[in-house]
Amino acid sequence: MNFLIQKRYFFAKKLRKSVIYVNILWRIGRNDTKIGGAIRRTLSLETTMGYWVVIVDDDILSLTNAKGMLDDAGMKVSCLRSGRELLRFVEKNEPDLILLDILMPEMDGFETYSALRMWEDEAGKAHTPVIFLTGERNMESERRGLTAGASDFIRKPFNEEILIRRIRNTISSYKTIESLTEEAAVDKLTGFFNKASGTERIAALCEIDSGALAVMDMDNFKLVNDIFGHDMGDRILRAFSEVLRHNTREKDVISRIGGDEFMCFFEGVSQSEAVASLSQRMNEQFLKEAAALMGEEHGLPLGISFGVVMVPEHGRDYETLFSLADSELYSVKQNGKSGFAIYDRTVTKEKSDEMTPEQMLERIIRIAEERGGSREAILLGREAFPIVYRFLCRYHRTFGGRSARILFELTAESEENEQTLPEVAAAFGRLLRESFGPCDLINQNKFNQYVVLLPERTEEEAREEVGRFLAAWERDETHSPVKVVYALSCIEEEKEDGR
């Protein structure tokens, strides 16, 4: 068969081979019904091969029918006869999806689903997608299942095309969200957890584990950027990251929390000798790497400083522990750098007693101030956003001023785009932070909603900025089509009399 290629197509970014394969086949077959049908059947098989599906049903006929259909689609299938069998099965296995019948003796589908989710949460496992099966036409069962959190609902007897498509779509959606979650959790430059995801994991470890919480940063890193440029700064950061990676274990958790600042939880570490050895080893290795990159005569006083607190010796509250470790890091910076300090309640109290109020204030401000000097808008979590917003309103009522409030909402333009909406929404959020200024505030209200606060903007100024942002979003062709709507309002207050 010969094909006449009349157009050239280009991919805007590096893609996986499977994605390129799908796009090429789609281009070839979209205008030829016969070819297109064959290609769609090929793609259906291609995208389901390797999926592991568990069918839970006490009806042997339903099990046999469903297994035959999934076998033909290239899936791996496990058949179970009861909810209790499923609960034992998932203790040692991790399937991609579970087809769960509602009407079963002993434990029905709803009871099994609840027990499964409870076990997954207690074991710290990701939720396995579940599709309920039923031969009933009762809409109440469907409503109850979807309300409980099931991914979908399939009626018996099975329609093979519907069964395969819904399984494929459900697994694809879960894997997309899982991939986005993992990608969003990682700092792209270093490969470590970013601040938000790293903080969440380390805070959880502080509550249940023992070890050493360390805050560290590179001494005089700013000089690298000022003298050798930001490209060299990135290379030095990557070199530091490799040194840190080679000196930690798989069970240790590492997070980049600022420009050149990192946080680690070293599980089971409780001796100062271990911290001293790590500090010396990492400083020696880092200086060698820096010399290899910038030359032996670079002349910069580089190094690594550590502030450490032992857990649970000094409590389990993450915020308190981080503050103690950060305070020790400050002490190292004030006393020669390139070393370490471990929090000791007695010694720290003696140091505090010797400080003047001015020195104490400087210490508090140094610990609290922002690192890195980011030029992006500030992203606030759900808990912080209402507090900051109330402060802004109080400030305007007291001293006068204005702010613009904007809500952006993204919706898929077609059913096909529903699966990629979380990924597109994440990209939308990244562009928001890059497009607005360092004094602007952003809150992700839902996965597809963002609230933006623009201090000291009139409504006209805010609409102009929104227009520029949306134009930049439209120019970005790497995301799938979505519908973006926004609402905008302003607050404006006069200065109170007597102020």
- What would the two tokens of residue 21 be? 């394969």
Whole domain around residue 310: which residue ranges? 195-368
For 334-390, how does the pLDDT look when each residue is reduced to its tens digit (9 = 90+)?
Answer: 777 788 999 987 655 555 566 678 877 776 676 556 555 567 888 887 778 889 999
Is it the case that residue 38 has pLDDT exceeding 70?
A: no
Helices and strands in the chain, H and E counts: 17, 15
Residue 364 sits in the same domain as residue 382: no
CA 442 – CA 457 distance, rounded (Å): 15
CA 26 – CA 40 distance, rounded (Å): 8
Residue 235 in any domain: the answer is yes
CA 251 – CA 205 distance, rounded (Å): 11
- What would the two tokens of residue 494 be? 């006069």
What values do phi and psi take at 175, rounded to 5? -70, -35
Confirm whether pTM is higher than 0.75: no
Average pLDDT of the residues in 465-489: 89
Residue 453, classed as helix, strand or coil, is: strand
What values do phi and psi take at 134, rounded to 5? -160, 150
Q: What percent of the chain stands above pLDDT 90?
A: 48
Q: In what order do the strands lie in the sheet containing 130-134?
A: 76-80, 52-56, 97-101, 130-134, 152-155
Cis peptide before 157 (omega within 30 of 0): yes
CA 177 – CA 185 distance, rounded (Å): 12
Would you place residue 31 in the very low, low, confident or very high pLDDT band (cuts 50, 70, 90)? Answer: very low
* CA quadruple 411, 416, 422, 424: dihedral, nearest 10: -80
Residue that is last in its domain, among 140, 156, 184: 184
For 53-84, how does the pLDDT look when each residue is reduced to its tens digit (9 = 90+)?
Answer: 999 999 999 999 999 999 988 899 999 999 99
Residue that is last in its domain, among 157, 184, 211: 184
Residue 264 sits in the same domain as residue 331: yes
Task: Tell me the one-letter amino acid at 190.
Answer: T
* CATH for 102: 3.40.50.2300
Inter-axis angle of helices 421-435 and 160-185, nearest 10: 30
Residue 69 sits in the same domain as residue 208: no
* CATH for 410: 3.30.70.270
Residue that is last in its domain, among 368, 395, 426: 368
> Which one has a higher pLDDT value, 226 or 466?
466
At 305 the pLDDT is 93
For 256-312, how does the pLDDT look when each residue is reduced to its tens digit (9 = 90+)?
Answer: 998 899 999 999 999 989 999 999 999 999 999 999 999 988 888 899 999 999 999
Question: Kind of pairing, strands 52-56 and 152-155?
Answer: unpaired
CA 246 – CA 308 distance, rounded (Å): 19
Phi-psi region of 456 (alpha: psi -120 to 50; beta: other; left: phi over 0): left
- What would the two tokens of residue 208 be? 């249940």
Residue 148 sits in the same domain as residue 65: yes
Residue 175 sits in the same domain as residue 199: no
Residue 351 sits in the same domain as residue 445: no
42-51, 105-114, 339-348, 471-480: lowest mean pLDDT where?
A: 42-51
